[in-house]
Amino acid sequence: MITVEVGLRERAYAVTVGPGARELLARVLPAGVERVAVVTQDGIDVAVDPGVPSTTFVVPGGEEAKSLATVERLCRGFAAGGLARTDAVVAVGGGVVSDVAGFAAAVYHRGVRYVTVATTLLAQVDAAIGGKTGVNVPEGKNLVGAFWQPSAVLCDTDTLRTLPAREWASGRGEMAKYVFLGEGAGGEAGPGAAMLGMSLDEQVAACAAIKAAVVAADERESGRRAVLNYGHTLGHALEAAAFGPAPRWDLRHGEAVAVGLVFAALLARRLGRIDDERVAWHRTVVGRFDLPATLPPGASAAELVGFMARDKKARHDLAFVLDGPRGVEPVHGVDPDVVLATLADMGCAP
């Protein structure tokens, strides 16, 4: 097992990575827990034993589960099942489950403790760590939520053996992001680039360690933590544009982020922040993870810019996380015409 500490003083916790990590659940539950609400999702066949009485709640599959209606159903179920403020919620699943269960834990009784058993690559390398919980509304992804740190995160890499290929792609998009976040200023060698040659367990732990360091420095995203959204501004816009009963394209989260990474590199080059070689490195990393680098057919530049303007980093302007001489950092006040021109470079319709 590999253990990564998330150093948040009184809210500090450990991320444990390795085969069979879920078997540690009873040991990592906070002291005083007498009952557990296990929240999981349709199709997740991962059994856990919390060592105390538990009730299981199953939320629907897909992004549709990330809604205020789901959170209300969970909280009403917690109340009906007698979950006390001293008890805990256990999320078993991927990023959708940890987002929804964590948000429900944050608002039920004004906050109960929770533990995440991450079963997908996306959750293990990113979504389950850092305490960002939330749900979607029609106006955008993750616009309603809370910062609520887990008591522990268990990344059982055995659960990845049966992961569908598209779910692997979703996690690899976040791994590609961490390659760049793990580099030094100006792309100097660092743990990020070394990650390409690591074993899976080591890669998951490396991503967790990079994220843990960023979260410890800026828990509530007042500054540095925004870099964790690298590639996500366009990525979230692509997801939001396709969200609904009749999506126009099928992109998993990590695939959308991969396209967003290439877009961010092209935008940074257009702004004079990086050169052609650095753009090529972005394409190389995305390719090494077998991820897409092009926009889906039918994408509208004007529509995507509209969604990007609603991004959480925005302050009534267009804001992006971009590479540059000081490394990856937030950049505010980007000219919409420059964004539209960059999307046009990628073959996007007006």
- The residues carrying an active-site annotation are 110, 132, 174, 211, 221, 225, 229, 232, 236, 253
- Provide the 10 A C-beta neighbour count for residue 48: 21
CA distances in angstroms from 348 to 30, 98, 101, 305, listed in the order given: 50, 33, 36, 11
Q: How many helices (H) and strands (E) does the chain have?
A: 12, 11
Residue carrying the six token digits 């009784």: 109
CB 109 within 8 A of CB 92: no
**For residue 349, what is the DSSP state?**
B
Q: How far is CA 117 from the centre of its chain?
A: 15
Query: 3-class DSSP state for residue 92?
Result: strand
The CA distance from 220 to 147, in Å, is: 7
Tokens in use for 217?
């420095």
